[in-house]
Amino acid sequence: MILFAVSRRPGRAFGAVAALALAGLAGCASAPTPDGFNKKPVLPTENYSAKVVETPDQVALAVHVEGVSAAQQAALAAFVDRWRSGGGGAVVLKTPTDAASADQARAMTYAVQSQLEMMGVPSDRIQLAAYVSGDPKTPVLVSFERASVTTPDCRGGWDNMTSTMSNEPYKHFGCALTANIAAQIADPRDLVNPPALAPGDNTRRQVVLGKYREGKTTASEKDDQASGAVSSAVKQ
C-alpha cells in the first residue's frame, strides 16, 4: 500500500505524488516476467529441417572393341536425363589405367565422350580422369553429383498430448510438414539457393501495354471450351 503525505503547499504535494508514482512504475517495469511470457515462438523449420546431400550418380560401361553398344547407349541416355534434371553440373568420365588393353580403354572413353556430347552434354562440362581398380576387366565410369534430400523420421517418439497441461509445442511439431515439403520438391538444390528467374516475355508485355494505351481490354479472350454451367435439379 502506498501512503501519500499531504502538504499545505500544493506544489510540494504534487511533487511528492509524482515521485511516488514514478517509483511505482519503475518497480512494475523491473518486476520479473512469468516464465515463457516473452519466449520466442518455435517455428516448424526450427525443430526439423530437410538436409540436402550430394551423392554420385554413376554408370559403369564395359570396354567393348566395337565401341558403345545399343544397351550402353540406352543407359547413357537415361544417365543424361537424370543429369539434366539434376541441374546439369560437371560429368566425370574416368578411364581405367590398368585395363587389359589401354588402347581399347582410351578408345572406349572417347566413344562415350562423343555419345554424351551428341546427347546434349556440353564438352566443357565433361571432365576426363583416370583411376586404378586392380581388375583388367574394369569398366569406364561416368558419374555426376546428384542432390538429394534427407527427410526427418516422424514415426516414433510422439508425445501424449491428452495428458499435458502445457501450451508448449509438442516434440514432433513441424516434422510431418518438413517431410512432406522435402518429398515434393523437384530440385533439392532449391532448398540451398533459390533458382534464377527466367526472363520476362517482352513481346507479351508490349501487346498488353499497347492495348492499355488504346483503351482496350488487356485480359485474354474467353475460350468457349472454358465456359460451363452448373446443372440444376429438375422438380418433379
Whether 7 has a pLDDT exceeding 70, the answer reads: no
At residue 96, the pLDDT reads 92
At residue 198, the pLDDT reads 79
140 — pLDDT class (breaks 50, 70, 90): very high
What's the residue count for the chain?
Answer: 236
Query: What one-character-per-residue DSSP string does 118-176 give?
Result: HTT--GGGEEEEEE--S-TTPPEEEEEEEEEEEPP--SS----TTS----SPPTTTTHH
- Residue corresponding to grid cell 564395359: 62
The SS3 of residue 99 is coil
Each residue's pLDDT tens digit, 156-182: 777 776 776 777 777 778 888 888 888
Closest to 188 measured CA to CA, from 114, 87, 77: 87
Whether 184 has a pLDDT exceeding 90, the answer reads: no
At residue 110, the pLDDT reads 94
Query: What one-character-per-residue DSSP string does 52-96 give?
Result: EEEEEEEEEE---TT-S-HHHHHHHHHHHHHHHHTT---EEEEEE
Give the range among 118-122, 127-131, 150-154 with minimum mean pLDDT: 150-154
3-state helix, strand, coil in the chain (%, to 5): 40, 15, 45
Each residue's pLDDT tens digit, 30-78: 445 445 445 555 565 577 878 888 888 999 999 988 889 999 999 999 9
Whether 210 has a pLDDT exceeding 80, the answer reads: yes
Beta carbons within 8 Å of 210's beta carbon, 6+ residues apart: none
- Residue corresponding to grid cell 528467374: 197
Tell me the pLDDT of the chain averaged across its residues: 78
Beta carbons within 8 Å of 51's beta carbon, 6+ residues apart: 149, 150
